[in-house]
Amino acid sequence: MNPNNLGFNKHTLNPDICLPSDHVPLIIKVGIKEENVDITFKVIKKDSEEEEVFIRDIVKGIRNINTSELKNQSDIQRYTVALETIFKDAWSTHFMTKRITKHSKEWWNEQCTVCINKYHETGDINSWKAFKSAM
């Protein structure tokens, strides 16, 4: 809502819903502009094939590092840099970029679709309850 708009910053007092309190509810309408905020994140799905290969690559990389020559601080520093590289390489090879939107529904499944479609077709409240329990 535009701050220069006449409806901006208007409020109403509603003494009818104050109940036993001596406070009067103040009702304010706040306009929120719908915007598509592009939010992405990187992920390797738990218990997926990608996760297995990711872990396998890390284990293989760690096994290939020679630790027999660790004698001083600079050796340890090189070792930690090698570990960092192993994790970064495995991550960048196996992650997926996901986009979050207001319509993202990771939990949605086929049962949800069947239940909601049945509810829309018939108006049967039991279909709605089945849909809610499937969520």
Per-residue pLDDT reduced to its tens digit, 85-118: 999 999 999 999 987 766 666 667 777 778 778 8
Task: Give residue-wise pLDDT tens across range 52-83.
Answer: 999 999 999 999 998 888 899 999 999 999 99
Place of tokens 């409020």: 11
Task: Give residue-wise pLDDT tens across range 21-41.
Answer: 677 777 777 766 666 667 788
Say if residue 124's pLDDT is above 60: yes
Phi-psi region of 117 (alpha: psi -120 to 50; beta: other; left: phi over 0): alpha
Q: Residues, the chain, total?
A: 135
Q: If you average pLDDT over every residue of the chain, what do you get?
A: 79
Indicate whether this model's pTM tops 0.85.
no
What are the sequence ranges of the domains in the chain?
A: 39-100, 105-135
How far apart are the C-alpha atoms of 51 and 49, rounded to whole Å? 5
